[in-house]
Each structure stands twice: as structure tokens, then as C-alpha cells.
Copies of this chain bind each other. A is one copy, B any other.
Amino acid sequence: MTIPYKIYIEENEIPRSWYNVRADMKNKPAPLLNPATRKPMTAEELGGVFCTELVKQELDNDNAYIPIPDEIVDFYKMYRPSPLVRAYCLEKALDTPAEIYYKFEGNNTSGSHKLNSAIAQAYYAKKQGLKGVTTETGAGQWGTALSMACSYFGIDCKVFMVKVSYEQKPFRREVMRTYGANVTPSPSMETEVGRKINAEFPGTTGSLGCAISEAVETAVTNEGYRYVLGSVLSQVLLHQSVIGLETKAALEKYDIKPDIIIGCAGGGSNLGGLISPFAGEILRGENNYRIIAVEPASCPSLTRGKYIYDFCDTGKICPLAKMYTLGSGYIPAPNHAGGLRYHGMSSIVSQLYDDGIIEATSVKQTDVFEAAQKFARVEGILPAPESSHAIKVAIDEALKCKESGEKKTIVFGLTGTGYFDMVAYQKFNDGEMTDYVPTDEEIAASLAQCPKV
């Protein structure tokens, strides 16, 4: 059977339930803790910050399948199913016996997979009768995705955008504004925590952790608003499982059995979503795969962080999460381009990594952009810097196959496009891109600030 360049499942094959990998995990991810009492957060406590239905999903370690509401499926139909692409041209360019596939999530205006969870979170906010939601965004994909989702359901969207991105990525900001969102550079003077950080660090260009604090504060101090988050949380990985479920369905359509599954990892939303159904098979003893999480050498939470409870935000107002972390004060060096800059990692991914279900590796950004350029030139798609971390490792694995003569099947997640990352590409094109790898001392100093739990 000839495998087409793009494997599409049918519109009526779009998953009708999300898959909750926690149900199959023997070691469940550790619960979120109340930062004051250090006791597990209750649904009631979480309900002050998050939408009620999303809290239920956040705390659900038992149900393997959670139905996707029709309204969300309808929205999915506008840009899903996304294609599983056979990288024929990349294979040829690498002269490898390996078969390479990528699940491409970039064919929507948000430019990434983030829309899968954004639309779900906006839906539950709308259903709860809320006026709107608040959030933070770094590179901008999440903010864009949420703006689109809120515009679709007609609710307010308030985005705190890390100041350096707000200034360097005015076009992302304009996309959000086109969808009707209110975008504020963070740290701002609109929140208590923003004013405090601005006073403490005058001229700071912001961080994700700080923007999170501002968004949370705004949600809890304004009637009818809740906070939503684009990664890290278990609910987000749940929504993102649509990626993995579609990937599995597409592979099965052509009887393809992957050997290696690769995803980039920042907070873990794309990786967790892509691998969930495959990890589930491993956990249930039904199948085996090598699963590789790829993170930037400049923000290596899995490969060089510690698996402990930490703050999720700079302002330390969010619940504590047990995760692989570099410490909540850790900020990647300014030469780090693109996303994947969060100091911690999703509790689910952290636990799967700790249990040896998945591997992790880190790569340098000049190598990542080299892989991105190679990929763009043969496969046509200009990838996001984030996604290119997975490309880099997929190429490496394919080249190992060339050496060994093995015909492995490699699947990776191409989470998005790089159309709003041209400043970074320009640096690379001009030969001015540099690498940064934190020293052990830097990481240790940052980790020393973690709470003692």
C-alpha cells in the first residue's frame, strides 16, 4: 500500500473523547499543594482561579476517556484533523532507511497546537457564564490561540504578554488584537505583583512566571473572570491528547508501527498530548516505544532540573507543583529564541520521565536552527523554533539508522510554524546566533530558592 504524503483521517473520525493518561499511570502525578497550608488543593480552592469544569478535569486521575463537547468538536472541524505527514523529501535528503512522519499542528492561524486546549478552556468559561478569562503568553502562540477561541465564543480575553516578546513581536500582538483581545506588556502597573516586580527590578523585560502571577491576580480580583493556562497543567495535556489520538488513528489506517516518538518539551503540553495514547499502551503493557522529550540546552528542566515541589510562578501566588524544575526564578539567557522557556515541566510528563516511560535530551539552539533550515528547504514548511527541537532529534535518529542500516519508523510532533519568529531566523541567517548552556552553579543557585516541602 502506497503511503500518501499526507495522511488525513476523516472529519467524522476526529476523536470524540480526550484520553487521560493519568488513569493508566500506576504512580499518579503528585497533587498541587496550597502554597500556604502545603496541603493538596481542593476543588473549591482551585475553583477560585480556574473554571469549575476544568478543575474537575485537573483533579481527575481515574477516568481514561472524557467526552469532548460537540461545540468543541465543531470548532476542531475548522482546522482538524491535522495531517500526519510522511517526510519523503527529508528521508531522501538524509539518505536514510528510516521512515519519518510528523504530525503537523501549524495549519491554523494561531500557528500551533495551542488552539486545541484554548478552545476547550474558552468553551468551559463560556458555559460557566463567565465574562472572560485572563492568561499570560511568552512567544505568543498561546495568547493568539486563546484570542481566537474567546472571539469564537464571544468572551473577553485579557493577555499579559512577556514584555520582551511584546516589544520584539508586535505582529503577534496585532493578531491577538485583531481577534479582539486586550494585550498588556508584563510586568505591568495594572497589578499588585506587576508593580512590585517593576519596583524591585526596574527595566525588567519580564518572564513567563511573572506574567502568570499578573494574570492570576487579575482573574481572582475581577468578578466573572478566571485564569487559564496553555501548558503544564494536567487538563491541558488532556485536551492536547487529541494530537496523539489522531496520530494513532492515522498510523493505524496504514498499519504503521512507530519505533520512536519525539516531541519538544517546554511546559509539556505538546509532548504530553502527542505521547499520551502511546505512553498509555506502554503503561498497560500492550506495546513498547522509545519516547523522547527534547528540551533546549538553555532551559533543561528534565535533563538538569530536580524533581521536587516548586512554585509555578514568580509571584509565588499559584499552587505548588511537583515537577522537574530549574527553580521558579530561573530565566533562560536573553539569547534564547522562541518558547520552551518555562522553568518547570508538567507533572504528568515529570512522573512519566521519573518512571522511565520516556527519555529526555537537550539540544543547542544553533543546532536546532540548522535542522530547521534543512527541514524548511526540503519539506517546504518553515517550522517554529520550538518544533525544531524535535526535528533536530528526529534527524539525528534518522542518521543513526543510516549508520546502522536499521529501518526504524520515527514519528515527531511538528507543533507549529515559525512565521512570527523571523527575528530569530534572521539572527541565524546572519550567522549571529549564539548558544547558552547554564552552569551547574547557576542551576543550583536557582534551585536553592525552591520551597521546602
Which A residues have a C-beta under 8 Å from some C-beta of B? 4-6, 8, 10-12, 75, 77-79, 85, 89, 107-109, 111, 148, 151-152, 170-171, 174-175, 177-180, 373, 376-382, 417, 419-420, 422-423, 425-426, 428-429
A80 to chain B, nearest CB (A): 9
Known: A151-B377, A170-B422. A382 touches B180 (CB 8 A): no
Which residue on chain B has the smallest CB distance to residue A147? Answer: B377
Docked Cα-Cα span, A111 to B419, in Å, equals 10
Docked complex Cα distance between A373 and B426 (Å): 29
Contacts of A426 in B (CB 8 A): 170, 174, 177
CB < 8 Å neighbour of A422 from B10, B171, B179, B417? B171
Measured between beta carbons, the chain B residues less than 8 angstroms from A78 are: 5-6, 85, 89, 379-380
Least Cβ distance of A411 to chain B in Å? 18
Q: Is the CB of B380 within 8 A of A79?
A: yes
Q: How many copies does the complex hold?
A: 2
Is the beta-carbon distance between B152 and A422 smaller than 8 angstroms?
Answer: no
Beyond known contacts A178-B429, A179-B377: 16 more, CB 8 A cutoff = A4-B11, A4-B77, A5-B77, A6-B77, A78-B89, A89-B152, A109-B417, A148-B380, A151-B377, A171-B422, A174-B422, A174-B429, A175-B419, A175-B422, A178-B373, A178-B425
Complex Cα distance, B174 from A425, in Å, reads 7
A427 to chain B minimum Cβ distance, whole angstroms, is: 10
Q: Which 8 A-B pairs have the closest CB atoms?
A: A171-B422, A5-B77, A4-B11, A174-B422, A109-B382, A151-B377, A174-B426, A419-B419
CA distance A375 to B429 in the complex (A): 35
CA distance A69 to B282 in the complex (A): 45
Contacts of A107 in B (CB 8 A): 107
Task: Give complex CA distance A190, B200 in Å.
Answer: 53
* A67 to B170 CA separation, bound complex (whole angstroms): 45
Q: Which residues of B contact A379 (CB under 8 A)?
A: 78
Q: Is A109 touching B380 in the complex (CB atoms < 8 A)?
A: yes
Are B8 and A8 in contact (CB-based, < 8 A)? yes
Contact B5 A381 (CB under 8 A): no
Chain B residue at minimal CB-CB distance from A107: B107
Q: How far is the CA of A12 from the CA of B5 in the complex (A)?
A: 10
* Cα distance, A420 to B89, chains bound together (Å): 27
Q: How far is the CB of A135 from chain B (nearest CB, A)?
A: 18
